[in-house]
Amino acid sequence: MNRFFRYFRKTTVSFTILSVLILITWIADTSPAADRDKEYVAKQITNFKVDGNIREWDRAEVVPFDQLKDAGNQIPDPDDFTGSGRVAWNANDPTRIYFLVEITDDTLQDIHPANSMWWVDDSVEFMFDFDNNVTRDALVQWTLGANGKDLSAAGSSSNTEWIVVKNGNDYIYEVALDPTKQRGPNPGNDNKGKDFRAKDGLTVGFSFHMNDCENGGREHQIGWIAGQAWDPLSFGDLTFDKEFLDVEPSGKIALTWAAIKR
């Protein structure tokens, strides 16, 4: 009889542990991160250089900036503002994320120093939910001025390698961000993403958008998805994929930027 009760207790403990593990898995699988409407795939680039020569980006998927965020009543006319962005990475450089942002803007406003009302100067913002917590308190923000000099929010010379190339009204931002390096004074959540390492299949929450400013104010904040800039549900799921952009496609079925989740 004692042997039976010992067996029964062991079985009960094992069942309890298994139930807890199943519950944890279920909670993870039904987390709020699943509520995001869009998923984006960043492919790998080899021999990436921040030099303004963007030929390595030719096959990267393009996201148009055509959705209003925190400012603006309507989408600006094309002769006033147009924009788009791309993202890539490389497994040999796993702590950095690469970006190309292309902007056409008829007026550049640059009236504030770095980390002082940067959102009222023309600038591009990169925002991350590294842990997919889908809470405002978990978000981290980088802001890069269109003047090619001002780094604000989490941006610092330690964690941002970038260049802005201007040709008339056309601006090209080529950027590499390293979340693991020392951050600027206004990052949002300074503790998130410090152990970031990109790898095949990793997904983080991500948004980027442009502050379009004129006449002393911000006329538009415009990006790839509508909604408040600090609303993590107005982000996409950025997924890192091992496929390389500078080789022929493997033929496998892959999601592309702005593909709606099924």
Q: Is pLDDT at 252 greater than 60 in this prediction?
A: no
Q: Higher pLDDT residue, 38 or 62?
A: 62
Task: Report the distance separating Cα 100 and Cα 87, nearest Å.
Answer: 6
| Amino acid symbol at 68 | L
- Tell me the CATH class for 33-260: mainly beta
% helix, strand, coil for the chain, step of 5 = 15, 35, 50
> Largest alpha-carbon pair distance within the chain?
89
Tens digits of per-residue pLDDT, 226-245? 999 999 999 999 999 999 98
Element spanning 16, H or E: helix 2-29
Task: Report the distance separating Cα 69 and Cα 53, nearest Å.
Answer: 30
pLDDT reported for residue 38: 85
Identify the weakest region by mean pLDDT among 32-36, 50-54, 142-146, 205-209.
32-36
Nearest to 197 by CA among 109, 113, 125, 90: 90
Mean pLDDT of the chain: 85
Residue 100 near residue 51 (C-beta atoms within 8 A): no
pLDDT reported for residue 39: 84
Q: Is pLDDT at 251 greater than 70 in this prediction?
A: no
Q: What are phi and psi of 19, to 5 degrees?
A: -65, -40
pLDDT reported for residue 244: 94
Average pLDDT over residues 85-92: 97
pLDDT reported for residue 40: 84
Q: Higher pLDDT residue, 95 or 40?
A: 95
pLDDT reported for residue 47: 87
Residue 79 near residue 105 (C-beta atoms within 8 A): no
Specify the pTM.
0.82
For strands 160-167 and 170-177, give the pairing.
antiparallel
HSE-up (13 A, CA, CB side) for residue 223: 26
pLDDT reported for residue 12: 54
Tens digits of per-residue pLDDT, 10-49? 555 455 555 544 444 444 443 344 458 888 899 999 989 9
Nearest to 67 by CA among 239, 259, 256, 258: 258
Three-class SS state of 203: strand
Three-class SS state of 66: coil
Q: Higher pLDDT residue, 259 or 191?
A: 191
